[in-house]
Amino acid sequence: MKVLVIGGGAREHALCRSLSQDPAVTELHCAPGNAGIAQVATVHPVDQLDGAAVAALARRLGSELVVVGPEAPLVAGVSDAVRAAGIPVFGPSGEAAQLEGSKAFAKDVMAGAGVPTARSYVCVTEAEAVEALDAFGAPYVVKDDGLAAGKGVVVTDDRAEALAHALSCDRVVIEEYLDGPEVSLFAITDGVTVLPLVPAQDFKRALDDDQGPNTGGMGAYSPLPWAPEGLVQEVLETVLQPTVDELRHRGTPFSGLLYAGLALTSRGTRVIEFNARFGDPETQVVLARLRTPLAGVLLAAADGTLDTLEPLRWDEGAAVTVVVASEGYPAAPRTGDPIGGLDEVEAEGAYVLHAGTATGPDGEVLSSGGRVLSVTATGADLAAARELAYRGVARISLKGCQYRSDIALRAAR
């Protein structure tokens, strides 16, 4: 199978790594890719928001499956353009991707599907925002309605800060605060059948002990030894299947990866958000544990034949990933610095997945984004996987870089 992956972050590197290990994959291409992806796939320049350009590239390469990774091309309708060219595509239509692209749309779908989530108001004017903030009280949760790459959400006890964020956005969702630990559960779906993957946990805050600003995610692990038994089945029945059914009934069937960000609150499981794509960095650990070859699963979702697949097989052990970010991330990341030690990580039993990297004029690898790379390892349990991942991280040298030292620490204990 000739596969083309669209995107160029750590998620796409993780996808390409798994696809490159799948014997069914005869050719692997990625556009635009990054310096690390170039080691496992043939990379091509492309404007990933341009559906016609992506479809033309896929046709030229004879792609038999296109996997659209990030949310921006999905929301821009890149999957629709590829599907219209007659090529199987893993990734929802632009309309269905509004589940991630608009928080207000997602709330409306959840209301229609009876999916438990935080009570919320959609606010446009200052008066509406003030009323919503005071209705819920602190801690305040204010979300930009549109795509904001994980930076559109402010959770704070400071009413002035909450109001200022609301006023800085055109349209916001203000909602009730959800207490309790967060879980990310991904499901692969063809619009009818829903196949949950294994749960993972992300670390959203920049600093140890969940201090500092919200980020795109600083690390992840799987499995979650503390999670209640039956969680996956419960979420399948109360969240994932009803959402997929609701979208199909609305005439906007969702196929691809449905990401449920959940809070396990004192009053039960609630959806914090949906994403229309694999999450980063959770994908690194979920795919690290997947034993079933990936390409056939993604193709079955694209083809509408997920109901014919054998159950997915998983590694019983654990996986941990630690994100190495640039100095100044997330506010003002510094870029353009050389990254050392990349070749030494595998000797520690871990591996590097590139996110914000680029190849310099002399073939050297340079930092080019906020989250630069992640180091992933597997092991018999979380403590073992963690040990190897951090040994790998210690090999990386990048001026001013930062990473959390407590990824999976509590769970491993």
What is the contact surface with ligand GLY in residues (CB under 6 A)?
150, 202, 217, 275, 279-280, 282
Which of residues 72 and 290 has its CB atom nearest to ligand AMP in the complex?
72
**CB neighbourhood size of 340 (10 A):** 14
The set of residues, in sequence order, having a beta carbon less than 8 Å from that of 380 and lying 6+ positions away, is 317, 318
The set of residues, in sequence order, having a beta carbon less than 8 Å from that of 306 and lying 6+ positions away, is 188, 189, 190, 192, 193, 195, 297, 300
Name the residues that contact ligand AMP, by CB under 6 A: 118, 141, 143, 150, 153, 155, 175, 177-178, 182, 204, 214, 261, 272-273
Both tokens assigned to 383: 């403590």
Which of residues 64 and 273 has its CB atom nearest to ligand GLY in the complex?
273
What is the dihedral angle through the alpha carbons of 29, 35, 36, 39, rounded to the nearest 10 degrees? 60
The whole-angstrom separation of Cα 113 and Cα 106 is 10
Query: Minimum distance between the CB of residue 143 and ligand AMP, rounded to whole angstroms?
Result: 6
The whole-angstrom separation of Cα 64 and Cα 77 is 19
Please tell me what DSSP assigns to residue 237: I
Query: Minimum distance between the CB of residue 196 and ligand AMP, rounded to whole angstroms?
Result: 19
Q: Which does 255 bind (CB under 5 to 8 A by kind): ligand GLY, ligand AMP, none?
A: none
Which of residues 27 and 182 has its CB atom nearest to ligand GLY in the complex?
182
The whole-angstrom separation of Cα 91 and Cα 78 is 9
Which of residues 146 and 349 has its CB atom nearest to ligand AMP in the complex?
146
Q: What is the largest CA-CA distance in the chain?
A: 59
The whole-angstrom separation of Cα 20 and Cα 122 is 44
Q: Which does 141 bind (CB under 5 to 8 A by kind): ligand AMP, ligand GLY, none?
A: ligand AMP
Which of residues 153 and 375 has its CB atom nearest to ligand AMP in the complex?
153
Query: Minimum distance between the CB of residue 214 and ligand AMP, rounded to whole angstroms?
Result: 6
Q: Which does 280 bind (CB under 5 to 8 A by kind): ligand AMP, ligand GLY, none?
A: ligand GLY
Q: Which does 217 bind (CB under 5 to 8 A by kind): ligand GLY, ligand AMP, none?
A: ligand GLY
